[in-house]
Structure 1
Amino acid sequence: MTSNHFFFLCLIPLFFGHSIAVDVLKADQSINHTQAIVSAAEKFELGFFTQPKSSNFMYLGIWYKGLPDYVVWVANRDNPVLNSSATLKFNTHGNLILVNQTGQVFWSSNSTRTVLYPIAQLLDTGNFLLRESNSGPENYVWQSFDYPFDTLLPGMKLGWDSKTGLNRKLTSRRSQTDPSSGDLSYGVNTDGLPQLVVWKGNQTMFRGGPWYGDGFSRVRSKRANYIYNASFEISYSINDSNNGPSRAVLDSIGSVIYYVWTGGDKKWEIAYTFEGSGCNDYELCGNFGLCSSVLVASCGCLDGFEQKSAQNFSDGCVRKDEKICREGEGFRKISDVKWPDSTKKSVRLKVGIQNCETECLKDCFCLAYGKLEIPDIGPACVTWFDKLIDVRFVRDVGTGDDLFVRVAASELERSERKSIIVLVVVPIISVLIFLASISFYIVRNVRRRAKADNGVTITEELIHENELEMPIAVIEAATNNFSISNKIGEGGFGPVYKGRLSSGQEIAVKKLAERSRQGMEEFKNEVHFISQLQHRNLVKLLGFCIHEEEILLIYEYMPNKSLDYFLFEDRRRSLLDWQMRIDIIIGIARGLLYLHRDSRLRIIHRDLKAANILLDSEMKPKISDFGIARMFGEYQMETKTDRVVGTYGYMSPEYIMEGCFSFKSDVYSFGVILLEIVSGKRNHGFFHSEHQLNLLGHAWKLWNEGKTLKLIDGVLGDQFQELEALKYINVGLLCVQARPKERPIMSYVLSMLENDNMPLIHPKEPGFYGERFVLSDINSLFSTSNNVTITLLDDGR
């Protein structure tokens, strides 16, 4: 797997080795599409390029010279020249302009100052500037660093500059192959205490925490970042600490990834990622909520508060005791958190104050405070008013901040009573724990011996896959001994850790849980099948390890997580445009066809769902989790099991009711996923105010009423073509028909999706489209089948 997220911008340079003199463009010079400017030490290059799929659109850009072609700045990103006759030159006022052969201006440096003797220079920092020929670079009239693309280079600043009035932000591209401005931006929010923020339009997606004196909260350990004199400038930058090429990029899903170039491996490596997921999603837990993501994101309340709504934690929390600003109040300290949102209306900074608690108690509207030590200035207090939102625990102990939350006197009294109880109860509990520990030690040793024997058996059974076996030391080194900071999720198999091998390759390590639902047989199933399957739309198994009690699977790392991570969350779902959704559907179909027909093994997956569709760095789908897959013989079409295993909403009717499964069972699951992708809604748990149907029933109802297009996800707007959308919904409904023999095989499904001229069949009634029926009558269905048992898996397994 490469280390590149899916935001790279592939380019086709149009020059052919012709450069003008050195690193400058003089007043009487110009460059066309066959020429380039190269910085003095040949670190950067400025020239013209096109996109592979849009060769008629020409852009003026800058990139690292001699490295894989990644554009770091584009002049005319929103106004490409439509042919190859573009020229960069000076106009009569000394401004840089980009024109075509008729003289039409497509871009300009647009300085209000007339430059008498202009010169343009490309520096070794990647900065392209305009200045007077008799002045130095520091006296520039205009510079590209003030107008960022989606990339932050070392020495470049984001944030506010009072001299120019500019608030510099990174802006994402519209798509992989379209450098025009997207709707995501990254920069410094200067409204209140400065903080790093990613926006979608005007809406905050997530933030990195506020300024704490000499840097930003939650980015202290990252490569150097600075805040400058707040009287003139509030800005953030990165240092080129290894003296090699590096860059930070805002990708198309809102992640900010810092890259460094490794000369030995000759590739870009990810140094760290600043992204929104789980607790990083802005205001996930509402006002006065507190988010924790030890395993998965979960919401609680700050001390002194309780949940406002039992059904929806995003509604936030309310005070347990509304009586505030009374005698006896105090503060509860919460350690290792990201401070609350610090916009102007909710925060106040005062310097030179030693006793922040007294300062906060003096104001009845003060909700909480934090302490700062500002270099060269001294102590300071930060106090919050109005609301406390977007507070979360940080993963690494000692890297967060202390927050002191104001609570009523009754809460402090309750805390004192708890302390007395603790003094009495703790000694008793300690004795019980000691006795339990002895029992656990005895049982653990017995189980360890049994498991070790079992491990030998498993290894012998997997002997033909032994070239995939990895030493435990390699995996421990890659995951920093399974550090909690490396933990990226939890599935039915057990916890999942991110790691990096000594070669630089990023990996995902699944660790078998003690009481894993999949168990040993399904572990062997996973290794046996995936090791023999090779397809671009199937996740790649890199290895496995069995060491004492440790049973591990090692996969290629998927940086964009799973399909359900994007599809079923409002803000992230909007990042999936129509074409991206179509590409994901086609990719899943191709992977499934490979399993059913084209691989040397004919495989039925049996647990196809959005959570098991992983997304690589380019948002290409890869089918994962083969723990309950089954292999069919060449002429075998169907079989039956007395152990039904699967996930609500994705299992076919014949599989649930009779234990029968076939390739058509996977087709049914694929149809569910297809309809989920186009609608942005989950089948299981779907709610509509006018009926009790699930998503399949809702789609079927709209189809029969001639209102099919109402199923399309509203966030897509007018991105789709109506005929194409109708075709995809039609195919989805064909796949989820109640009777297996009426569902198309995957080869026919793929043909219908990829061929606009292929006639489509009118679908028949889908299976299990009444949500109330599925949930209330499921147990009675199984009670009629004496030999069938069912294991239901979580949606996110």
Structure 2
Amino acid sequence: MWFDKILLISFVLLPSCFCLDTFTLNQAIKDGDVLVSGREIFALGFFSAGNSSNRYVGVWYNQISNQTVVWVANRDNPVPDTSGVLSINGDGGLVIYGNNRSFPLWSANVTLSSPNNSIAKLLDTGNLVLLENEDSQKVIWQGFDYPTDTMLPLMKIGLDRRSGLNRFLTSWKSKDDPGTGSCSYRLDPSGFPQMILYKDGAPWWRDEVASWVGQSCCTVTILVNNADEVSIMSSAKNNQSNFSRTVLDESGTFRRFTWNDRAQKWTELWSAPIERCDFYGQCGPNGNCDPYVTNTIDCICLPGFEPKSPTDWYSRDGTDGCVKKKGVSTCRNGEKFVNLESMKIPDLSRALVNMNMSMKACKQECLKNCSCVAYSSSDKTGCVTWYGELMDTRVQPSNGQNLYVRVDATVFAQYAKKSNDSLSKKEKLAISLVSVLALFLLVFLVYWLLRMKRKGKRRRDEYSFSFFNESTGGMEPAESSISSDLPFFDLTTIAAATDNFSLANKLGTGGFGSVYKGVLFNGKEIAVKRLSKTSGQGIEEFKNEVLLIAKLQHRNLVRILGCCVQDEEKMLIYEYLPNKGLDFFIFNETNKALLDWTKRFEIIHGITRGIIYLHQDSRLRIIHRDLKASNVLLDASMNPKIADFGMARIFKGDQNEANTKRVVGTYGYMSPEYAMQGRFSVKSDVYSYGVLLIEIITGRKNNGFYHEEHPYSNLVGHVWNLWSEGKVLQIVDSSIGESYPVNEVLKCIQIAFLCLQEYPADRPTMSEVLFMLGNDADALPSPRKLAFLLERSSSSMGGKLSTHEGYHSLNNFTCSVVEAR
């Protein structure tokens, strides 16, 4: 007792430790002090949870600004104020004191024969360990043996059979209270090891250990099952430096996260339970939960079983489960096994396991015992047999296994794919006759359906082609005919694919109408561009887009799969691109960080190649006329694809320029000769490309841009002014970071200026742009006078435009049609 008193006095007299990874008997961690692991990955100290004022000793990630706590010592015994102290007591164990230094609020319950030498250390794994002395490095207590709600790499979950120590996760009570909650995640060692999540003491979700063991994107997980212990432990891959953690939250959801350093946030990789069939015993004993059935009842009985309570069963209450069908014997009565594929096998707590038995021997072993109701493999090896009720079974296409359920001969005949060997000669003859008759009826039905389909297709094609012929005007026949390879989709097919054009599947809206995501019967994802019935402008764009894009095939152009022209509906069907438009990334403060300079430069190259194909490599010469960030879509690999050809025009082989009274497109991207005089050419697209290049580099929109240093300029004008002042790198998107190749960025800016020159003849062709992108900037010419540098007068509140230094523009407006004078 006298030693403890001296020690308590030392809390006040001795200096506290700061930014060390250890502390000893003569040191203490006060509230406000921080213990930091050797490589500064984790920190330990006092913290408050959420809105609570209580103080807890915990471990969190030191390098993540948003404090993420992974372990708590005194979770059920908080310090009510900031008087807390963590220290090593006279017995050599860890203790936490509040104001009352006589009675600890928490202790590690360790007694050492030589307590004066013990030392506490925070490891880079997040594990707080108590060592016998600094030299031996013998661990006598560790925080990883008493996890809270988070599982970290190198932390074990399971049972130490020698000491009886059971390591498991328990949730917090709430965001404000890290006390022991009502949910726990444990390894169940009975039968064959499995992981079970409990809520309020009852099984809530079950996971097979086999789904943990092996390699994932970030970790390697192993199972230890011997006489000393049964446990699982994960470790980060050798080449994996990202932080990862698995958390059991207070709602009973198990979540796995990894840290996204670029976006500075935790990314959820996986969580469970999610859907109804995930929850334990959803369909009761001998029931099988199948979330993929087409009807509304997702509980079905396993083969040979029937609902115990049919009324409750068909009311979607499957808790009573299923029982053996009456009058059915499966004991040495010619019984067999029905193979159910892609299954989450039943609860393993009462199963018998033989890891050295083959599947063939496993089947015979189960047949010999009339109490054996099913068998399977343990992660595709060994033998698992069940006796009694089969609980918590479900269809699981991903990582599912084969489950063989014991049934009588009658049930087997209903399920077996090949039952011919078990039939008599009379039965074979009867089946043969029925098969011949069925085949004859099938052939007749197919012939009738094909004939009706041809008639319907002929009527639709006549209507479709008459619709398109109205728009061909003076085009040559070779140009106006739709490719015979372009399929016409039936309206019912598209309606089914888009769930009858539901709002949940709506991707966006434009002047033409709306775009929907759809999934065809074969599982292929599509994007459906549906023309608005009230859009007169959209009809012309629709016809134009079909006539053009049906003839274009290039990896950097969006691919059309077909169209639908039926009744009053007019739709284009495209390949579905999951990453939306380029504008979704470069103009969004969060998303733009996902595009580093290397990826942006690849996107620039892809856009360039796509325009070259339109201008010179396709059998038609196409002027897009509406090239902008929102019309560049990104596929799953972030490859760019130019889209929206509703405003495009075809040039004949010797045609270089055209005039129009109908100016269409987006101001801010239009070339001056097109916006003011209605003249367009390939150089009009080159100008739009230059604006787009500036936007990709700066991450800002040309339209609506304002900067106090150059208040009268739009984005292009502002960048030009910075270029003239030698400060152009100030405008480079900060989310790219500071490690980008400066010369390459400067080269792209100079190429953009060459594309933005006032006179079309001064602008390069897209082939020349591609050559410039692949070569040094030293050979590039200096840009001449730029076009359309927007100048705003100081009295622009009235909306009027003024000119400064000879430049003028209308590029801060957006419109789709302008009638030229």
Could you tell me the TM-score, scaled by structure 2's length? Answer: 0.50
Residue 347 of structure 2 corresponds to residue 341 of structure 1: yes
Offset, 1:291: 1.3
The partner residue of 2:449 within 436, 439, 452 is 436
Higher normalized contact order (CA 8 Å, seq sep 6+, divided by chain length): 1
SS in 2 for 1:238: strand
TM-superposed deviation, 1:28: 1.1
Amino acid at match of 2:321: G
Aligned equivalent of 1:754: none
**Offset of residue 239 of structure 1:** 3.0
Question: Pairwise mapping of residues 340-489 of structure 1 onto structure 2 (< 5 A)?
Answer: 340-344=346-350, 346-349=351-354, 351-353=356-358, 354-372=360-378, 380-396=382-398, 399-414=399-414, 415=416, 416=419, 420=431, 423-424=435-436, 427-428=439-440, 431=443, 432-433=445-446, 436=449, 439=452, 443=456
Unaligned 5+ residue runs, structure 2? 1-14, 468-493, 508-515, 522-527, 535-559, 561-569, 581-821
Q: Is 1:31 matched up with 2:29? A: yes
2:208 alignment partner AA: G
C-alpha deviation, 1:81, in angstroms = 0.4
How far residue 31 of structure 1 moved from its aligned partner, in angstroms, is: 1.0
Could you tell me which residue of structure 2 aligns to residue 299 of structure 1? 299
Give deviations 1:307-333, integer Å, cap 9, x for gaps. 333322312222335212023111111
2:229 is matched with 233
d(CA) in 2 for partners of 1:498 and 1:352?
Answer: 53
Q: Residues 310 and 82 (structure 1 numbering): CA distance in 2 closer, same or farther, change over 3 Å?
A: same
Q: 1:255 to 1:26 in 2, by over 3 A?
A: same
Structure 2 equivalent of residue 110 of structure 1:
109
> Which residue is 1:282 aligned to?
280
SS, match of residue 197 in structure 1: strand
Q: In 1, Cα distance between the equivalents of 2:90 and 2:466?
A: 85
Displacement of 1:551: 12
Maintained 8 Å contact 1:193/1:349: no
1:358 alignment partner, SS class: helix
Q: Are residues 1:60 and 2:57 paired?
A: yes
How far off its partner does 1:124 sit? Answer: 0.5
Q: How big is the shift at 1:191? A: 1.9
Q: How does 1:171-210 map to 2 (within 5 A)?
A: 171-209=170-208
- 57-66 or 188-197, larger mean C-alpha shift: 188-197
User: Once the 2 structures are TM-superposed, how far is the Cα of residue 145 of structure 1 from its aligned partner?
Assistant: 0.7
Is the 2:154–2:235 contact (alpha carbons within 8 Å) kept by the matching residues of 1? Answer: yes
Aligned counterpart, 2:74: 76
Shifted more, 418-427 versus 321-330: the winner is 418-427
Give 1:299 shift. Answer: 1.1
Does structure 2 retain, via aligned residues, the 8 Å contact 1:254–1:276? no
2:529–2:571 CA contact under 8 A, matched in 1: no
Whole-Å separation in 2 of the counterparts to 1:222 and 1:275:
21
Distance 1:52 1:283, change over 3 A: closer
1:199 Cα offset (Å): 0.5
Q: Quote the Cα distance in structure 1 between the aligned partners of 2:178 and 2:400.
A: 36
Match of 2:149 in 1: 150
C-alpha separation in 2, matches of 1:304 and 1:298: 18
CA shift for structure 1 position 170:
1.1
1: CA distance between counterparts of 2:176 and 2:389? Answer: 42
**1:452, 1:76 → 2: CA distance?**
77
> What letter corresponds to residue 49 of structure 2 in structure 1?
Q
Shift of 1:347: 4.0
Mapping of residues 492-531 of structure 1, within 5 Å: 511=518
Taking the aligned partners of 1:267 and 1:384, their CA distance within structure 2 comes to 45
Q: Secondary structure at the match of 1:327?
A: coil
Q: Aligned partners of 1:324, 1:316: CA distance in 2, in Å?
A: 20
Cα distance between partner residues in 2 of 1:209 and 1:62: 30
Give distance in 2, aligned partners of 1:270 and 1:444: 48
Contact 2:130/2:139 (CA < 8 Å) preserved in 1? yes
Q: SS at the partner of 1:126?
A: coil
The 3-state SS of whatever aligns with 2:234 is coil
Contact 1:451 1:549 in 2 (8 A): no
Note if contact 2:16-2:27 (Cα within 8 Å) is conserved in structure 1. Answer: no
Structure 2: which amino acid aligns with 1:196? M
CA contact (8 A) 1:24 1:121 kept: yes
Q: Structure 1 CA distance, aligned partners of 2:506 and 2:271?
A: 13
* Residue 202 to residue 352, structure 1, CA distance change in 2 (3 Å): same
Deviation at 1:20, TM superposition (A): 2.7
Kindly indicate whether the alpha-carbon contact (under 8 Å) linking 2:187 and 2:231 is maintained by their aligned counterparts in 1.
yes
- After superposition, give the CA deviation of every residue in 1:545-577 in whole Å (9 maximum; x if it has no partner): 997358999999xxxxxxxxxxxxxxxxxxxxx
Question: AA paired with 2:62?
Answer: K
- Structure 2 match to 1:124: 124
Task: Give percent identity, aligned residues only.
Answer: 33
**Cα distance in 1 between the residues matched to 2:308 and 2:228:** 43
Once the two structures are TM-superposed, the CA of residue 115 in structure 1 deviates from its matched residue by 5.2
Contact 1:282 1:390 in 2 (8 A): yes
Deviation at 1:133, TM superposition (A): 1.6
Unpaired stretches in structure 1, ≥5 consecutive residues: 1-16, 455-481, 500-508, 526-544, 557-797
Which one has the largest radius of gyration? Answer: 2
Q: Partner of 2:56: helix, strand, or coil?
A: strand
Query: Counterpart of 1:774?
Result: none
Offset of residue 247 of structure 1 = 0.6
Cα contact 1:511–1:553 (8 A) shared by 2 = no
Does the 8 Å contact 2:341/2:401 carry over to 1? yes
Cα root mean square deviation, aligned: 4.3
| Contact 1:173 1:179 (C-alpha < 8 Å) held by counterparts | yes
- Could you tell me how far apart the structure 2 residues matched to 1:91 and 1:282 are? 45
Tell me, yes or no, if the aligned pair for 1:59 and 1:81 is still in contact at 8 Å: yes
User: Cα offset for 1:380?
Assistant: 2.2
1:51 equivalent to 2:57? Answer: no
SS at match of 1:228: strand
Distance 1:257 1:182 in 2: 16
Cα distance in 1 for residues equivalent to 2:308 and 2:466? 52
Q: Secondary structure at the match of 1:303?
A: coil
Q: Is the 8 A contact 2:92 2:111 kept in 1?
A: no
**Number of residues paired by the alignment?**
464
Letter of the structure 2 residue corresponding to residue 252 of structure 1: E
CA 1:122–1:265: 2 relative to 1, 3 Å: same
Residue 140 of structure 2 corresponds to 141
For 1:168, the equivalent position in structure 2 comes to: 167
User: Is the deviation greater in 109-118 or in 88-97?
Assistant: 109-118
Mapping 1:705-784, distance limit 5 Å:
none
The 8 Å contact of residues 71 and 149 in structure 2, kept in 1 or not, is answered as yes
Q: 1:293 touches 1:395 (CA, 8 Å); kept in 2? A: no
Aligned equivalents of 2:266, 2:455: Cα separation in 1: 50
Deviation, structure 1 residue 187: 2.3
Deviations 1:420-454 (A, max 9, x none): 47854764475335653664577579779999999
Give the letter for the 1:329 counterpart: E
Q: Residues 174 and 324 (structure 1 numbering): CA distance in 2 closer, same or farther, change over 3 Å? A: same
Change (3 A) 1:351 1:172: same
